[in-house]
Amino acid sequence: MKHFISLLSSILILFFACSCNGKDDPIPVSVKKDIILSETKLLFEKQDESVKTVTVSTEEQFNLDKQPEWLMLEVDQSQKTIEISVKPNYSRQPREVLLKVFDENSESYLHISQSGEAEEEEPFIFKYFPVSEYISCETSVEGANTLYHFKTKKFFINQNIKDEIYLGNILNYKFSDFPKLQTFEDYIFNDVTVIADIIIDGKMYVEEWETPSKSQLDELAQIIIKDAPKESKTYYVGEPILFRSYKYLHFLSMANLGFGIDEVMQENLYPDKNMDKDIGLIYSYSQSLFSILIDPSFLQPREETDFILQNNLSYINNITYGKTAFLIVESDGSKQSVDSIIKKVKLKENLSGEEKLFINSMDICYLYFSSDGTLQKDKSEDNINKIVNFYQVENNNIIPLNYSVLDYITNGSKYIEYAFSL
């Protein structure tokens, strides 16, 4: 028995020795390798034209997850690379995506981000429209409201007061119930002489009337407008004014024009509605073509000095005629990006598909004046067409733009004063 056990042990030892020294290869074991990216984070600027390349380390064909439309990718499977670029970001908000890169065995992620515009401050302060000639703006507190006080040499002739604006009309140079005018009638006048400050083909425009007359003034103005050369003249375009609320838009238009252009854009914008877009820009221009003035000798002196002083009596001595219009642009883009696109349309430069989409995403309102001085809204659906029409100054109507006044007693220049609260 012992001999048998010893023999069996020897056979087993010999078997294991032969197995260890045999020529058979070991069975291979499959090892999964992770997919590796040369970069895991990429940052692009808001209008970045660079192309960034990421190398993918994998022995297999790789795939990409679905990506947003602003991200542009070029894949080269033979070189195992991804070329990455982005479309311009016209929004003030940054954007980002986590791009999944994967093969059959593993996956990896690439973080791609693009900056937006920095937040811009909007101080609630007075800013001039090109048609304005304001001298001062001061504030005071009236209960819970802020009262804004203005003085100007020339005041805009808006649609609410245009019927009362004519040479020689007597009025209070301080608005007591802004934006309504306080005028005075039953005054006796000498003969009236008016003259225009323009000569066309050697022709001067001088007329004499028995009394100050709006109808005669309008007739004279139309004669001059008809005779005036039709070629385009220089006009002043102001820098676009930024606003972030309809309240600020209302404030600026009341201060510059004496009425709210927001009321023409859409009923009850202020104070009932908030802006849907991030920012708004006010574009405007002014073109002064001629003025008509009155000779102060038309006034007959009055002895009621106390009444004259108490009611701040003055008379309209100068009315300027010309053109103005407004383009109100609301957008989720930055002021710089919006202004850049508007200028490209103005200069008739070619727009990329992305830029056209950006313009179509804006809310644009083009406001112009009819021949009778009433502000109108362009009802076109085409945003580019609205911008083009705004800059075609030669097609706009010539209207009474603004007026100035002289003191009833001294014939000296007076500031027109007004105030309102919000």
User: Do 184 and 288 have their domain in common?
Assistant: yes
Cβ–Cβ < 8 Å for 283, 326: yes
User: Do 320 and 373 have their domain in common?
Assistant: yes
Mean pLDDT of 340-362: 96
pLDDT (tens digit, 9 = 90+) per residue, 30-47? 455 688 999 999 999 988
User: Do 104 and 163 have their domain in common?
Assistant: no
User: Do 105 and 137 have their domain in common?
Assistant: no
Cβ–Cβ < 8 Å for 259, 301: no
- Containing structural domain, residue 287: 133-421
Residue 23 resides in a domain: no
pLDDT (tens digit, 9 = 90+) per residue, 226-270? 998 876 677 888 899 999 999 999 999 999 999 999 999 988 888
CA gap 223, 38 in Å, rounded:
77
Mean pLDDT of 324-347: 96
CA gap 117, 95 in Å, rounded:
11
Question: What confidence category does residue 29 fall into, taking pLDDT thresholds of 50, 70 and 90?
Answer: very low
Phi and psi at residue 114, to the nearest 5°: -135, 135
| C-alpha dihedral, 63 to 66 to 72 to 73, nearest 10° | 0
Residue 30 resides in a domain: no
pLDDT (tens digit, 9 = 90+) per residue, 361-384? 999 999 999 999 999 999 999 999
| Residue 401 pLDDT greater than 80, yes or no | yes
User: Do 142 and 214 have their domain in common?
Assistant: yes
Structure tokens at 412: 């000296």
Residue 195 resides in a domain: yes
Per-residue confidence (pLDDT) for residue 120, from 0 to 100: 52
User: Do 305 and 214 have their domain in common?
Assistant: yes
Mean pLDDT of 63-73: 91
User: Do 209 and 304 have their domain in common?
Assistant: yes
The DSSP H or E segment spanning 152 is strand 145-156
In sign, the C-alpha dihedral spanning 7, 9, 12, 13 is: negative
| Residue 105 pLDDT greater than 60, yes or no | yes
CA gap 243, 281 in Å, rounded:
6
| Residue 127 pLDDT greater than 60, yes or no | yes
Question: What confidence category does residue 122 fall into, taking pLDDT thresholds of 50, 70 and 90?
Answer: low
- In 3D space, the residue among 106, 98, 111, 99 whose CA is nearest the CA of residue 58 turns out to be 106
Q: Total structural domains in the chain?
A: 2
Q: Is the pTM of this model over 0.85?
A: no
Residue 401 resides in a domain: yes
CA gap 315, 294 in Å, rounded:
10
Cβ–Cβ < 8 Å for 158, 254: no
Residue 45 resides in a domain: yes
Domain boundary, last residue among 50, 82, 114: 114
